Structures are given as C-alpha cells and as structure tokens.
Amino acid sequence: MSESTGQASEEAVPATVLPLEIIDKSIGNEITVLMINDKEFTGKLVGFDDYVNMVLENVTERDNEGTSTIVRKKMLLNGGHVAMIIPAN
Amino acid sequence: MSEAEIESSKTNPSTFLSDIIGSSVTVKLHNGVEYSGNLQSIDGYMNIVLDEGKEVVGNTISRTYGDVFIRGNNVLYISEA
C-alpha cells in the first residue's frame, strides 16, 4: 500500500523546469532579445549568467528607426533591460 | 551539435570579459552614445575603463579622451570592435 502510493506521487509530480534551463537549451542557436525600450538584438546565443546577461555572436540591432547595418561579431548584452527572449526562425 | 561540443563552445559573460581585456572594444550606453577604445579593465558591475576612448554620437566621433571610466549602470552592451 505505502509502496504503491509512493510510486504514484513520484509520477504525479512533474519534474520542475527552471526558466534558466530553457535559456540554456537555446545556447548555440539564433535568438532575438527584446529590450524594455523597444530595441531588439538578434544573434547566436553563446552564453549567459544568472542575471541573464548574455554573450551573443553576429548580432544585429534593431530599434524603431530601423535595423542597424553593423553586425557585431561578439557582444555582452546587459541583462538589466531585457524583457523577452525568443528563438529566431 | 553534441552536448559536449555545446559545453566547450559556451562563453559565459565572465569568460567573455576576461577574454577581451586589452582588446579594442565598443561600449554602447542606454542613452545611445557609444564609446570605443582599448579595454583596460571591467568588473562585475560592468564598470569599464577604456584608454584612447572615442565618443561616438550617431556615426561621428564627437570627442576623444585619454582615459574613460564608465559607470556600469549605463552600459547596454560591450562588443569586440
């Protein structure tokens, strides 16, 4: 009896997935980062930390005046103003 | 890519910072102004010291400085020049 309930509760509780684990799955892939001030950055995610500061490669910057022609080879983006992270298509 | 390959190609922010010390960088602030120069020092707050700092507003160099200290709270990003 006690054995079976123990097993049942193990199955019922889903494994918790932390938000940062989701970001970790995007490492190596193209992402778009939306900032809180209507800016966005698109590039390959190569790393991040607990503050969601991100290291990105081949980054293009976009704001309400259009897309920048400059492609940044590698950058560290401050996580303080990040609103959303979206896998690029 | 295998998991091991992804792991080895990861560059976390702290690794990136130690990699770019001494190289030529561009720092963009939240107010849109950019500073480029040689990165002398950076810390966990993203406080930055550049030498031969050039202030770029829009696309034109507006001023040049010998040494520049940038307080970290203003930094939007730092990139390899």
In chain B, what are the domains? Answer: 3-80 (2.30.30.100)
By the 8 A CB rule, do A55 and A47 touch?
A: yes
CA-based nearest distance B1→chain A, Å: 9
Domain boundaries, chain A: 18-87
How close A89 comes to chain B (CA, Å)? 18
* Tens-place pLDDT, residues A58-82: 999 999 888 888 899 999 999 999 9
Q: Say yes or no: domain A18-87 is CATH 3.40.1190.10.
A: no
pTM of the model: 0.83
ipTM for the assembly: 0.87
Residues of A whose CB is below 8 A from B10: 27, 46-47
C-alpha dist (Å) from residue A56 to A61, B62, B80: 12, 28, 11
Strand spans (E) along chain B = 24-29, 34-42, 48-57, 60-70, 75-80
Give A74's contacts (C-beta < 8 A, 6+ positions apart).
Answer: A46, A55, A56, A57, B11, B16, B79, B80
Could you read off the pLDDT tens digit of each residue along chain B, which spans 81 residues?
Answer: 566 665 667 889 999 999 999 999 999 999 999 999 999 999 989 999 999 999 998 878 889 999 999 999 999 999 998
